[in-house]
Structure formats: C-alpha cells, structure tokens
C-alpha cells in the first residue's frame, strides 16, 4: 500500500509558512503591542475564500502567545459555529468568559463571575422566550409570564449597561497589565444577515478602550450582507453603503496581496509531493490558482490519483502531463469538468480554440472536426472560452486532441 500524506485545510503555523505570511505578521504584532496604539482598535483582514485569512489570524495569535503572552487575553470567536443562535451576543460574551476562566493562575476570577451573571440573565431571557406552555395550566402560565417579565426587566437593564460593564472589565484587566484581543474568523461562512449581526455586536459592545479586534472578512460577502439587511430602506448602492459601514468600524483594513507564480511554486515544492506533482511543478505554477486552499486540494487529488494509476495496470499508459492538467481543471472549475465528462470532445475543442487552431464562431470548422455534435460543442466552447483565466495556460502546450480516444479513462479516474 502506498504511503500517502495529505495537506490539511487548517491554518498553518510558522513551520508551514510556505507563502511568506510572516510579512504581515510582524507589522500587525507591532501595531497591537505598541503602547502608543490607541484603542479601541479593529483590524480587518480582507481576502477571497481560501486566500489565507485564517492562517494570518492564527500566526498573529501564535506570535502574541509566544512573545507577549502575559500582556493579552486572547479570545477566539467563530460565529459560524454558533450560526443557529438567534443572535450572536451571548456566544461572543461566552468566548470572552471562557478565555478568562482558562487562565492557569485564575487571576481573573472576579471578572469571570461578573461576566457569568450577565450571561446567565441573557441566557435566561432566551430560554423563557422558547418555553412551550401549550400544556401548562392557567396558573402556571401566569407565573411564567410574571417570571419572564421580571427577568426581562433585568435583561433590559443588563443589556443597556452591558457596554459600560464590559468597559469596566477591560479597564480592570488593563490595570493588571493585560489588554483583550478578539480573533473573529469564519464570518464569511455565515448567512448574510448573521454577518451584519456579528459586525454590529462587535461595534456596539467591543468598541472599547483596551480592546483589539482582528476580524477576517471577504468584502463581497459583507456587501451581500448589507444588501440583505438594509434592502427595505431602499438604498440605491449597497456596495457604497457597505464601504461606509466598514470604514466606521475598521481602523486598519489589510488586503492580502495576490500570490505570485513564484510563491505558488515555492508552496508546491515545500509541500508533501508525489512524483506526479514533483515532476510537473513548472506546469502547476502556471495553471494553479494563487489560492492556498485550492493549491492544497490540487496537490491532495494529484497524490491520490497517482496512487490509483500505480495500482491499475491498464492506466499505466496515461500521460502524466494530461493527468495534471485535468486534476487542476477538476478542482478549479467543477462545472466545466462535468460538462467535459458528458462531452469529452469539449476538451479538444477548447484546446484547439486556445491554440488558435479553431475559431469559436466558425461552425464549419466545428462540423469538420465534430460532425453531428458540432453545434452543441460549439455552444459549450463559447460558454467557457474566456470564463476562467487559468484556461489559457492550461491549454497552452497541452495535447488532448491526440489522446481523444482515451479521454474517458482520464476523466473517470479523476472523478467523472
């Protein structure tokens, strides 16, 4: 049995920093730890899906722990884990409560108790709102209503004073030499209205002196969230509203730089490679999307595909270069790959078009090559030509046309 190791999608640490995220970490840690940095202070880390936002948050957290562990209470909050909660304030407070309670020296016992009381009242409010009184007596319903009203009053009072209470706790911790930093990740995975609820909770309750917030964001996801949340108000341009919204809560917007081909190559060479990927790094540099998550998926699928080929004698004649290109296509454009599975000639047509051997609008050329299937293949070719940037380098130098008869074997093996 082959010895196959896979790349995890989890954020990497310093030893696995193959994409040089250190260039962001040191400046950010300097900002956070500088006593002259004014608080409240919120850092927004902007990037597309899979671009490494979680890795950057993880590395900043590690550096703070390693070099400034006594100076910060580090709070980790993942709103996606709590996406079924009716609102995000309670789990956000619970994350702070947990971080304080886990201090080995129990230096924050008083703060833990005070936060516990606030959370208990908020939780009681949520619980009473959900009580099923369908089978209760009139007397019991009356008692529950009275109890709810009493606790509701306490909760309203607590919520109204919550910002002040949290500021008191932040000041108390600062008096002991510690500031609070919240790391908020996976917000992009929440529903649009939940995204805005989290941002508003952060702005309303964590915009405090001695408190930092570092939050991973995708700008287009926030735009959609603002659009959903404020659609009833009839704003004409939700993207502009979203920009203004973020400007009011984020003091340092950090946009992750695009990853270049050299960095992609360095990532690939430093990862767990089999022969298939190792011998085609130059091709992968040109065609793999500059996205850490997609690079890992391509490398994982290549390693498993290589093992399948080695264990299947009839596949020994497959050309490794075509396998590499098809694996990338499978990961980076699943919809195109599935159309190729249904109509393998589409792969040949796209190759000919990208190599300037066939024009997309030349029906006669399609008829000469593909006969009765010409119109369908031409329509699909037009639909995909130019849709993805990686297709041009993928088909440059490829040789799918000579292997047209064997294409079903390639496609089936890779997941068609």
Q: Tens of pLDDT along 109-136?
A: 877 887 787 777 666 555 445 444 444 4
pLDDT, greater one: 6 or 149: 6
Predicted confidence (pLDDT) at residue 291 exceeds the cutoff of 80: yes
Beta bridge partners of 183: 76, 214
Q: Cα dist. 33→55, 70, 145 in Å?
A: 20, 11, 50
**Model confidence at 240, in pLDDT bands (50, 70, 90)?**
low
pLDDT of 74 = 94
- Name the token pair of 113: 């108790």
Q: Tens of pLDDT along 382-397?
A: 999 999 999 999 999 9
d(CA 159, CA 306): 58
d(CA 200, CA 187): 13
CB 230 within 8 A of CB 241: yes
Please state which of the ranges 170-179, 200-209, 228-237 shows the lowest mean pLDDT. Answer: 228-237
**Model confidence at 258, in pLDDT bands (50, 70, 90)?**
confident
Mean pLDDT of the chain: 83
Q: Which residue in this structure is represented by tokens 């890992």?
A: 296
Most confident listed range (98-107, 150-159, 182-191, 370-379): 370-379
pLDDT of 124 = 57
pLDDT of 82 = 84
pLDDT, greater one: 242 or 413: 413
**Model confidence at 88, in pLDDT bands (50, 70, 90)?**
confident
pLDDT, greater one: 336 or 120: 336
Q: What is the mean pLDDT of residues 285-310?
A: 89
pLDDT of 398 = 95
d(CA 164, CA 226): 28
Predicted confidence (pLDDT) at residue 218 exceeds the cutoff of 80: yes
Radius of gyration of the chain (CA): 28
Predicted confidence (pLDDT) at residue 245 exceeds the cutoff of 80: no
Instruction: Write out the H or E segment, with its range, that includes residue 141.
Output: helix 138-175
Instruction: Write out the H or E segment, with its range, that includes residue 42.
Output: strand 41-46
**Model confidence at 94, in pLDDT bands (50, 70, 90)?**
confident
Q: What domains, with CATH codes, occur in the chain?
A: 20-255 (3.40.50.300), 261-414 (no CATH)
pLDDT of 120 = 72
**Model confidence at 260, in pLDDT bands (50, 70, 90)?**
confident
Instruction: Return the ∠ at Cα 323 (arms to 320 and 328), rounded to 5°.
Output: 130
Going by their DSSP bridges, the two strands 72-77 and 179-184 should be labelled as parallel
pLDDT, greater one: 146 or 225: 225
Predicted confidence (pLDDT) at residue 293 exceeds the cutoff of 90: no
pLDDT of 141 = 42
Q: What is the mean pLDDT of residues 203-211?
A: 90
pLDDT of 134 = 47
User: Is residue 191 classed as helix, strand or coil in its secondary structure?
Assistant: coil
**Model confidence at 195, in pLDDT bands (50, 70, 90)?**
confident
pLDDT of 131 = 46
pLDDT of 322 = 96
pLDDT of 73 = 92
Cis preceding linkage at 65, omega within 30: no
- Name the token pair of 173: 């911790």
Nearest CA-CA partner of 401 in 335, 363, 354 = 354
Predicted confidence (pLDDT) at residue 404 exceeds the cutoff of 90: yes
CA atoms within 13 A on the CB side of 373: 12
Predicted confidence (pLDDT) at residue 327 exceeds the cutoff of 90: yes
Q: Tens of pLDDT along 57-87?
A: 999 999 999 999 999 999 999 988 887 777 7
- Name the token pair of 129: 């709102």
pLDDT of 256 = 87
Q: What is the mean pLDDT of residues 337-360?
A: 96
pLDDT of 332 = 94
Predicted confidence (pLDDT) at residue 32 exceeds the cutoff of 90: yes
């Amino acid at each position: 049995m082959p010895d196959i190791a896979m790349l995890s999608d989890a954020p990497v640490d310093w030893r696995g920093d193959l994409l040089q995220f250190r260039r962001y970490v040191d400046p950010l840690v300097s900002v956070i730890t500088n006593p002259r940095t004014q608080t409240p202070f919120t850092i927004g880390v902007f990037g597309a899906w899979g671009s490494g936002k979680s890795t950057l948050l993880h590395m900043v957290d590690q550096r703070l722990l390693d070099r400034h562990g006594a100076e910060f209470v580090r709070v980790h909050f993942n709103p996606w884990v709590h996406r079924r909660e009716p609102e995000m304030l309670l789990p956000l407070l619970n994350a702070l409560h947990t971080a304080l309670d886990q201090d080995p020296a129990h230096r924050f016992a008083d703060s833990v108790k005070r936060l516990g009381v606030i959370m208990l009242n908020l939780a009681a409010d949520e619980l009473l709102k959900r009580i099923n009184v369908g089978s209760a007596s009139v007397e019991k319903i009356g008692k529950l209503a009275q109890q709810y009203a009493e606790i509701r009053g306490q909760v309203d009072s607590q919520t109204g004073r919550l910002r002040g209470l949290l500021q008191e706790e932040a000041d108390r911790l600062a008096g002991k030499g510690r500031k609070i930093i919240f790391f908020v990740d996976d917000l992009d995975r929440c529903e649009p209205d939940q995204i805005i609820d989290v941002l508003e909770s952060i702005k309303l309750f964590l915009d405090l002196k001695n408190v930092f917030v570092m939050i991973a964001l995708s700008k287009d996801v926030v735009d959609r969230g603002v659009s959903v949340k404020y659609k009833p108000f009839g704003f004409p341009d939700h993207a502009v509203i979203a920009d203004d919204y973020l400007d009011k809560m984020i003091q340092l917007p950090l946009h992750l730089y695009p990853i270049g081909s050299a960095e992609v190559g360095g990532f690939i060479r430093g990862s767990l490679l089999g022969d298939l990927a190792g011998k085609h790094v130059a091709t992968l540099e040109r065609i793999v999307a500059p996205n850490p998550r997609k690079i890992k998926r391509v490398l994982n699928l290549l390693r498993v595909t290589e093992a399948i080929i080695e264990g299947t004698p009839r596949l020994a004649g497959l050309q490794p270069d075509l396998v590499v290109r098809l694996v990338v296509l499978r990961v980076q454009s699943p919809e195109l790959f599935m159309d190729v599975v249904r109509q393998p000639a589409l792969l040949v047509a796209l190759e000919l078009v990208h190599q300037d051997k066939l024009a997309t609008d030349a029906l006669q050329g399609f008829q000469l090559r593909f006969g009765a299937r010409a119109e369908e293949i031409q329509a699909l070719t037009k639909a995909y030509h130019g849709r993805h940037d990686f297709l041009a380098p993928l088909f440059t130098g490829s040789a799918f046309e000579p292997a047209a008869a064997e294409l079903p074997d390639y496609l089936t093996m890779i997941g068609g």
